[in-house]
Structure 1
């Protein structure tokens, strides 16, 4: 039996982490029997989630999980795509994972109101006298990671502009197709759904959310995928128009 170790549902999302949702979606697309269990970062082989236990074989990282499923179970998530289409799908994944992710992380972890509504919940088990200190230490690590990655060196309006451009590019690639690359989901759809739904999460107010919501095809895509693969989750509330920096338009 395959076991996927996760953080668990949060903020109206299948999981607090888009990478976990991506791995979960890949298993759904593969049609393989599996179960999800809440994991521990201390026990995770690379200190992060998700990771997968496939009958004793441990695989960490959502992309390595995909490759494991493809090799072990002879699955081609991109079946039917041309070489160029496979390249586009991979580029979309990396845009979302290596660019948009960090913008969303900054919004959730470093903006006070969003932190209070979201990640602060992760620290409820910490004794009250220590909670503020632990939160400050973890948020400092997030800030350092953002700085090391590079996006954390930008002014907020510059980071928003990059996130908005990325989301607009994905919307243009999606177009009026039901799935990213055509009439059937491919591997990158697991990633697109996870990150687009995360950007649209109603728990967080942000210009990034407004930017994602400005693309009707992305909103419709997320709702279509949610109804198909996560019908137990409530439909997200509509995002009202919101002003945001001109530099990010």
Structure 2
């Protein structure tokens, strides 16, 4: 049995971590047997972050490495296999999303004062009072430091959201009027896009990010199509079983 360790659902979204949401969606589509354990402390994982899995004594962290491990272990894929060219494009966009746009989302949730109270309550609200008075601010300072050393945190608020829009526009421009990112067929990169856009359009978080999804409406539509695809595929897997 595969055990997926990730944060619990919140704010009406399957997971506030796009990496967790992507991994869970991949597992659902794969038809593999798995269970979910919710964690708040990512230090329990091999890379001090969520998601991570345990399987046959192996512990694997990082959504991409988890998926690659499961592909090799069970010789399974989700969606249409990408061509060499499509895979190259997918890798480039995945890096844009997970190594750049992701940090704009982190800034929005952890650094923006208007969102910090909500973020603090979600991730630290169940802590004992003594810990809750100390740990959240320590965690926030750590995020500030990480953003600075990443490079994005050295920019102004206006510049950070400028970069976010450039990333979102690039995804939207490539998607265009296609049903999925690489055409009519669902491919794995669609999960990465879906998990990120779902998180950007959460109404509870204030700021420009959710407005970008309204501005580039084909991403909103893509999000809904992927959700429908996942739901349909899960039903088909259940019937096949």
- TM-score with structure 2 setting the length: 0.89
**In structure 1, distance between residues paired with 2:167 and 2:33:** 34
Counterparts of 1:184 and 1:124, CA distance in 2: 41
Count of matched residue pairs: 231
Distance across 2 between alignment mates of 1:16 and 1:28: 18
| Matching of residue 155 in structure 1 with residue 156 in structure 2 | yes
CA contact 1:120–1:135 (8 Å) conserved in 2: no
Taking a change above 3 Å as real, the CA distance of residues 2 and 129 of structure 1, as seen in their structure-2 partners, is closer
Q: CA offsets, 1:110-165, max 9 Å, x none?
A: 11221212333221233334423322111100000000111000111111111001
Over 3 Å counting, the alpha-carbon distance change for 1:142 and 1:54 in structure 2 is same
1:10 and 2:10 correspond: yes
CA distance in 2, matches of 1:64, 1:34: 17
Residue in 1 that maps onto 2:93: 92
Higher fraction of helix: 2
Q: 1:49 to 1:227 in 2, by over 3 A?
A: same
Contact 2:10 2:122 in 1 (8 A): no
Q: Mean Cα displacement is larger for which, 76-85 or 56-65? A: 76-85
Q: Which residue of 2 aligns with 1:119?
A: 120
Whole-Å separation in 2 of the counterparts to 1:150 and 1:79:
36
**RMSD of equivalent CA atoms:** 1.8
Q: What secondary structure sits across from 1:192 in the alignment?
A: helix
Q: Distance in 2 between matches of 1:119 and 1:188?
A: 31
CA distance in structure 1 between the aligned counterparts of 2:102 and 2:120, rounded to whole angstroms: 15
2: CA distance between counterparts of 1:119 and 1:22? 23
TM-score by structure 1 length?
A: 0.86
Q: CA–CA distance in 2 between the matches of 1:202 and 1:136?
A: 24
Alpha-carbon shift at residue 12 of structure 1 (Å): 1.9
Q: CA deviation at 1:28?
A: 2.0
Counterparts of 1:91-110 in structure 2 under 5 Å? 91-110=92-111
Counterpart position of 2:168: 167
Map Cα deviations across residues 192-218 of structure 1 (whole Å, 9 max, x no partner).
111111111111111111112211110
Q: Runs of 5+ in structure 1 lacking a partner?
A: 232-249
CA contact (8 A) 1:8 1:15 kept: yes
